Chains A and B, each alone.
Chain A
């Protein structure tokens, strides 16, 4: 279902259509090239010795037995690798933030189960795993902080330099701002919500191959990453090299979702160790390592409150948020948490807001970015709205209708400190999704089912998110477009095949910008020695940024083509129209094809490059998720029935790609609501370090996802807005609200995630059922 709010600015041939993905042939026939497919002469294999304790002193490391094992080449400890670090900071934050510690290997103390303590280098991974069992580490176990909620009042410090285990706090408008509104409110909703730790769990784990050239000191890196240029910049700083001396290649990356947005400690170790071994060095993370040590996300809680007038009008909102950052978060976790407070008011007419956020260490895996890192704002707000609606005796949909922003009311100020909301359509996607469901019919079906002893529920979540921001690092994306004398077009961008189909969309955009057919355009991506700078896949920026880079480069190229043609055709460049694969003079028969012009330019053809810099502070995307479910009130089992997303990411470059992004995020969010839980015991041992215990949703748990599109353009390239993260934001609240709605006859209130069957049964038991 598509409802077009505003037509795309210019009619196009491929942009906006469901062009089949060019990468599918390679990926679906098993011909993708992932980092573990890389083979180099004499390549060696690395495996980490990891801490079995959540917190312990390292008294001694004895590697002699491991070194004696045939096939083992080296065992490195912190003393070998850590002193070689030149600089260690991420481009997006720069070197001056009060960053948290991030030693390559653990020094003197281990701080979570999985903390890398030593690095074994061997002829193959089998021998390396034999050897890690032979490295004798004398640990002195200490009491750990397994739950960040205990950390601020604990005598134990995860890092001695951080009192109270707090890495940092941020706050927006102070609580006094909303005090009057709460004092005079007819109704107040005030709940503390808790979200469990879960993680992206990419299909391809982390992995890196680093090869140091002994002759000139150059370093080549193959890695699973979302940001090849950042890996290059980071690696160069780490190793003390000029960036030009570092080349980063990626072909296919089997998902990143934030986990691969910047290099982590293990990546640093392999980069540092590569200069101490005589051949390329490969490290491929296994699944247990990924679930134990690649990091966690989402683990947080917050006291959320809203003040309402008697008719349900929202008067003010506030959230006091705290998040678990584990022992070694990557990157700096404090700044990103501000978005939870800034976005808590959401797409509603909220006049006043207050917020604060605190980042707290624990002896668990470090926090990292995960698709919509701030999504707790939607969890807290949307769960609170449903609870408030029930208390007010209003249907949750009606309460939202009374407060939600429509496109006609934009721009509208955000009371928490963001720039105003604009160019989006919250109420419109809300109504679209409800129409697709037939909300009233569902309510009737629900009533009939309840009469028969079956418990159905419906939940919604409406959110608005800043995408493709104009912050300096992420604003930049370059492109090169070349036309060969054959007429074939090559577009060279940072891109990267991490699942977001940039190979396809950049070809669509380029074909349209030059007026050529899709199959006459190829793309080169994923190699920092060939591609211009691009900030990579992060912040739902790639679609917009790449569209900008292609548009600006194509404009320069068209001018060049006109210039070249003008000399041959004997007319002024401004009299030439460059479109549809040729340069022609309107009203005459004078024309040259691109191939002819490229041949004229020389054997190398004609080429242009340009860099796009985003000008808008952000492009607002929005969506409404609607979910229906049935709950078995004896076992607690939740069966999802329908799942509908009404969304607005502006004019879509390729609806298949947009829907793929929504589906992927939605499934991750469903997992977070119902299944996935990176749980630790009270001693800090991870209990879900294999797929037996870490439960990902599969096709049997996920219903068919239905999509409704609206296309309100944003003031960015092509009007396109970001689509990468929203699914993972909207799904958890919609699912939880549906479950809570199903159980509303029992007076059950859900404030803790995930809604596992046992947890729901506990709530039902508590409620006397």
Chain B
């Protein structure tokens, strides 16, 4: 389990990193936290002639909020995201999903941008980004900065809309205001494992207790992170107290394709688990939204803090 030879580059800035990537092309790979890449190199499941280490670039780190959105630099570690009180207030899903990513040693090294750019369909952050319609900021030497909507970002198993010379530099998450509730439900064999299935739910209630907005993101149930449009549509406009969560779960599972089947369970098993998780997450988020009266859009409870 030793990787094949590669040349290691440590650029001093984002511009330098992008220039190297443009120069080296397909033979190069961006190394961020290395929590997925390095094991693949060590198992010789992946070979790259060049690794461009962006893990020490200050320009990729940091969390900033402007009221309507929260921007997380791609190089911000998962541990930093999980420990940030501002993240917990503004984007509770992000904070609550973080403790489910691997183990704390992994979160200390792994980065938000690395997780999203790696695009594992069972990973947590891609599902959160998709559910919240986050904006993904790419940067290249040739085209400069470009914004990719999350709905267009995840193109297949471990593949994204990033061009070969593009680097993910930041992710902008919308901040939901009003009577909102959020929940993350995940089922894995052990704490820290990739989930058999997982669900993130965000919903907003109007003054009449009707669902004004609903976002359901799912992980582990396809070759990419998924939304549940049928379930979302069925919920919007309905009174929260009159919705059948189990039915929403069933709707969320309708029309799924490419459901993984592996050692941990068949596709049918994943559907059973996924439907239940949608129902549980929906109930939790509804209860939270109903109890949330604060204007200014902050969730009633602070998400779990890393560590």
Residues of A within 8 A of B (CB): 125-126, 129-130, 133, 286-288, 634-635, 637, 675, 677, 679, 687-688, 690, 692-693, 695, 697-698, 700-701, 756-758, 761-762
A700 close to B44 (CB less than 8 A): no
Q: Give the number of residues in B that approach A within 8 Å (Cβ atoms).
A: 24
- How many residue-residue contacts, CB under 8 A, span A and B? 61
Give the 8 A-B residue pairs with the shortest CB-CB distance, closest first: A700-B191, A758-B265, A286-B1, A634-B276, A126-B2, A758-B269, A129-B2, A635-B273
Q: In the complex the two chains form, is B191's CB within 8 Å of A677's CB? A: no
Interface residues of B in 36-65 (CB under 8 A from A): 39, 43-44
B44 near A129 with CB under 8 A, answer: yes
B190 / chain A contacts, CB cutoff of 8 Å: 675, 695, 697-698, 700-701
Indicate if B264 sits at the interface (CB-CB under 8 A).
yes
CA distance A519 to B80 in the complex (A): 47
B13 at the interface (CB under 8 A from A): no
A692 touches B4 (CB 8 A): no
Q: Is the CB of B264 within 8 A of A756?
A: yes
Q: Is the CB of A700 within 8 A of B192?
A: yes
Contact A761 B43 (CB under 8 A): no
Assuming A700-B192, A758-B269, is B5 touching A635 (CB within 8 A)? Answer: no
Which B residues are in CB contact (< 8 Å) with A126?
2-3, 5
Residues in A whose Cβ lies below 8 Å from that of B43: 288, 690
In the complex, whether B193 has a CB less than 8 A from a CB of chain A is yes
Q: What 0/1 pattern do residues 174 to 212 of B give for CB contact below 8 A with A?
A: 000000000000010111111010000000000000000
From known contacts A130-B5, A698-B192, infer whether A634 and B263 are also in contact, taking CB-CB under 8 Å: no
Residues of A within 8 A of B189 (CB): 675, 695, 756-757
Supply 4 further A-B pairs (C-beta < 8 A) apart from A635-B187, A675-B189, A762-B269: A695-B193, A756-B189, A756-B264, A761-B272
User: Is B266 an interface residue, CB under 8 A from the partner?
Assistant: yes
Give the Cβ gap from B1 to chain A, nearest Cβ, in Å: 4
Q: How far is the CA of A446 from the CA of B3 in the complex (A)?
A: 52
Measured in the bound complex, the distance between the Cα atoms of B263 and A695 in whole Å is 11
Q: Name the one of B2, B191, B196 contacting A125, with C-beta atoms under 8 angstroms.
A: B2
Q: Which residue from chain B places its CB closest to the CB of A289 in the assembled complex?
A: B1
Q: Which residues between 1 and 40 of chain B lie within 8 Å of chain A, taking CB atoms?
A: 1-5, 39
Q: Give min CB distance, B259 to chain A, whole Å.
A: 13
Q: What are 26 contact pairs spanning A and B, CB under 8 A?
A: A126-B2, A126-B3, A129-B1, A130-B5, A287-B1, A634-B273, A634-B276, A635-B187, A637-B187, A675-B189, A679-B263, A690-B39, A690-B43, A692-B194, A693-B263, A695-B189, A695-B190, A697-B190, A700-B191, A756-B264, A757-B189, A757-B196, A757-B269, A758-B266, A761-B272, A762-B269
Q: Which residues of B contact A697 (CB under 8 A)?
A: 190
B8 CB to nearest A CB, Å: 14
A684 to chain B, nearest CB (A): 16
Select B265's contact among A125, A679, A700, A757, beta carbons within 8 Å. Answer: A757
Give a binary string over B131-165; 1 marks a CB under 8 Å from any A CB, 0 the rest.
Answer: 00000000000000000000000000000000000
Interfacial chain B residues near A679, Cβ < 8 Å: 263
What's the minimum C-beta distance from A522 to chain B, rounded to whole angstroms? Answer: 37
User: Which residue on B lies nearest to A681, using beta carbons?
Assistant: B263
Question: Could you say which residues of chain B place their CB within 8 Å of the CB of A756?
Answer: 189, 264
B207-239 vs A, CB cutoff 8 Å, 1 = contact: the mask equals 000000000000000000000000000000000
* Residues B272 and A634 in contact, CB atoms below 8 Å apart: yes
- Determine how close the nearest CB of chain B comes to the CB of A640; give it in whole angstroms: 12
Q: What is the distance, in angstroms, from A125's C-beta to the closest C-beta of chain B? A: 5
A-contact 0/1 string along B269-283, CB 8 Å cutoff: 100110010000000
Contact residues of B: prevailing secondary structure: loop
For A700, what are the chain B residues with a Cβ–Cβ distance below 8 Å?
Answer: 190-192
Q: Which residues of A sit under 8 angstroms from B187, Cβ to Cβ? A: 635, 637, 757
Q: Which residues of A contact B263 (CB under 8 A)?
A: 677, 679, 687-688, 693
Bound complex: CA A762 to CA B194 (Å): 21
Instruction: Judge whether B272 and A288 touch: CB under 8 Å.
Output: no
Bound-state Cα–Cα, A677 to B2, Å: 25
Chain B residues within an 8 Å CB radius of A130: 4-5
Say yes or no: A698-B5 contact (C-beta < 8 A), given A634-B273, A761-B269. no
Q: Which residues of B contact A690 (CB under 8 A)?
A: 39, 43
A129 and B3 alpha carbons, distance in the complex (Å): 8
- Cα separation A486 to B2 with both chains bound (whole Å): 50
Checking B1, B191, B193 against A288 with a beta-carbon cut-off of 8 angstroms, the contacting residue is: B1
Given the complex, which residues of A lie within 8 Å of B193, measured CB to CB? 692, 695
Shortest CB–CB separation between residue A436 and chain B, in angstroms? 27
User: Chain A: which residue is nearest B280 at the CB level?
Assistant: A634
Cβ distance B44 to chain A, nearest Cβ, rounded Å = 7
| Chain A residues within an 8 Å CB radius of B192 | 698, 700
Contacts of A693 in B (CB 8 A): 263
**Assembled-state Cα–Cα distance A423/B4 (Å):** 59
Give Cα distance in the complex from A436 to B117, angstroms.
52
Residues of A within 8 A of B196 (CB): 757
Cα distance A758–B187 when bound, in Å?
12
Q: List, in ascending order, chain B residues with CB within 8 A of A688's CB.
A: 263
Query: Taking each of A130, A675, A757, which has the highest tally of chain B beta carbons within 10 Å of its own beta carbon?
Result: A757
Question: A761–B187 Cα gap in the complex (Å)?
Answer: 14
**B264 cross-chain contacts in A, Cβ below 8 A:** 756-758
A758 to B272 Cα, complex, angstroms? 10
> How far apart are the CA atoms of A339 and B135 in the complex, in Å?
64
Q: CA A698 – CA B105 in complex, angstroms?
A: 14
Residue of A nearest to B272 (CB): A761
State whether A701 touches B191 (Cβ < 8 A): yes
Q: How far is the CA of A555 from the CA of B211 in the complex (A)?
A: 84
- Inter-chain CA distance A756–B193, complex, in Å, is 14
Complex: chain A residue closest to B277, CB-CB: A635
A47 to chain B, nearest CB (A): 9
Report the Cα distance A391→B35, complex, angstroms.
51
Instruction: Give the nearest-CB partner of B3 in chain A.
Output: A126
Give Cα A126 to B1, complex, Å.
9
Contacts of B5 in A (CB 8 A): 126, 130
Smallest distance from the beta carbon of A46 to chain B beta carbons, Å?
13
Most buried by A among B2, B191, B276: B2
Complex CA distance for A757 and B189, rounded to whole angstroms? 8
Which chain A residues lie closer than 8 Å to B266 at the CB level? 758
Q: Which residues of B contact A762 (CB under 8 A)?
A: 269
Residues of B within 8 A of A687 (CB): 263
Whole-angstrom distance between the Cβ of A199 and the nearest chain B Cβ: 16
- A697–B269 Cα gap in the complex (Å)? 22
- Shortest Cβ distance from B194 into A: residue: A692
Residues of B within 8 A of A635 (CB): 187, 272-273, 276
The CA of A126 and the CA of B41, in the complex, are separated in Å by: 12
Please report which residues of chain B, range 249-305, place their CB below 8 angstroms from some CB of chain A when the two chains form the complex. 263-266, 269, 272-273, 276
A701 to B265, CA, bound (A): 19
CA distance A19 to B168 in the complex (A): 56
Could you tell me the distance between the alpha carbons of A757 and B193 in the complex, rounded to whole angstroms? 14
Q: Which residue of B lies closest to A688 (CB)?
A: B263
B123 CB, min distance to chain A CBs, angstroms: 13
**Residues in B neighbouring A286, C-beta threshold 8 A:** 1
Complex-state Cα separation, A302 to B110, whole angstroms: 47
With both chains docked as a complex, state the minimum distance between the C-beta of A562 and any C-beta of chain B, in angstroms. 58
A238 to chain B, nearest CB (A): 28
> What CA separation (Å) do A692 and B44 show in the bound complex?
16
A426 to chain B, nearest CB (A): 33
Chain B residues near A675 (CB-CB < 8 A) = 189-190
Give A692's nearest chain B residue, CB to CB: B194
Q: How distant is the Cα of A130 from the Cα of B269 in the complex, in angstroms? A: 41
**Whole-angstrom CA separation of A675 from B196 in the bound complex:** 14
| Complexed CA–CA distance, A679 and B262 (Å) | 12
Q: Please give, as numbers and ranges, the residues of chain B lying within 8 Å of A695 by CB-CB distance.
A: 189-190, 193
**Min CB–CB distance A509 → chain B (angstroms):** 39
State in angstroms the CA–CA spacing of A133 and B44 once bound together: 10
- Bound CA span A634–B4, Å: 45
Nearest-CB residue, chain B, relative to A286: B1
**What A residues does B276 contact at CB under 8 A?**
634-635
Residues of B within 8 A of A125 (CB): 2
Instruction: Determine if B272 and A698 form an interchain contact, defined as CB atoms under 8 angstroms apart.
Output: no
